[in-house]
Structure 1
Amino acid sequence: MKQERKIIGIQDKVPFGKLLPLSLQHTFAMFGASVLVPIIFGISPSIVLFMNGIGTLLFILITKAKAPAYLGSSFAFLGPAALIINNSAYGYPYALGGFVIVGLVGCLLSFIIKKYGISFIDIILPPAAMGAVVSLIGFELAFITITPGKIGADLSNPQGRIVFGVTLVTAILGSVLFRKFFATIPILIAMIVGYITSIYFGMVDIELIKQASLFTIPQFQLAKFSAIPILTILPVIFVILSEHVSHQAVTSSIVGVNLLEDPGLHKTLFADNFSTALSGFFGGVPTTTYGENIGVMAITKVYSVRVIAGAAVISILMAFIGPFAALINSIPGNVIGGVTFLLYGMIGTSGIRLLVEKKVDYNKSSNLILTSVVFVAGLSGLTVNIFGIELKGMVLASIVAMIISLLFYLFDKFNLLNE
Structure 2
Amino acid sequence: MRQTWRWFGPNDLVSTDDMLQAGVEGVVSALHQVPTGDVWTPEAIAARQGEIGTRRDGSPSGLSWEVVESLPVSEAIKKQKGDWRQHIENYRQSLRHLAGAGIEIVCYNFMPILDWTRTDLAYRVSHGGTCMRFDIVDFAAFDIHILRRPGAVEDFPEDVVAAAAERFSGMGAKRREELTRNVISGLPGATESLTLDGLQAHLDEYGTISPDELRGNFIAFLEEVVPLAQELGIRMCCHPDDPPFPLLGLPRIMSTEADYKAMMDAVDVPENGITLCSGSLGVRPDNDLPGMMRRLGERVHFLHLRNVQRESDQVACSFHEAEHLGGCTDMVDLVAAVVEEEARRRAAGRADVSIPFRPDHGQDILDDLGRRSQPGYPAIGRLKGLAELRGIIATLEHRTHGLGAS
TM surpasses 0.5: no
Higher helix share: 1
Give the alignment's TM-score, normalised by structure 1.
0.25
**Structure number with higher relative contact order (C-alpha < 8 Å, ≥ 6 residues apart):** 1
Give the alignment's TM-score, normalised by structure 2.
0.26
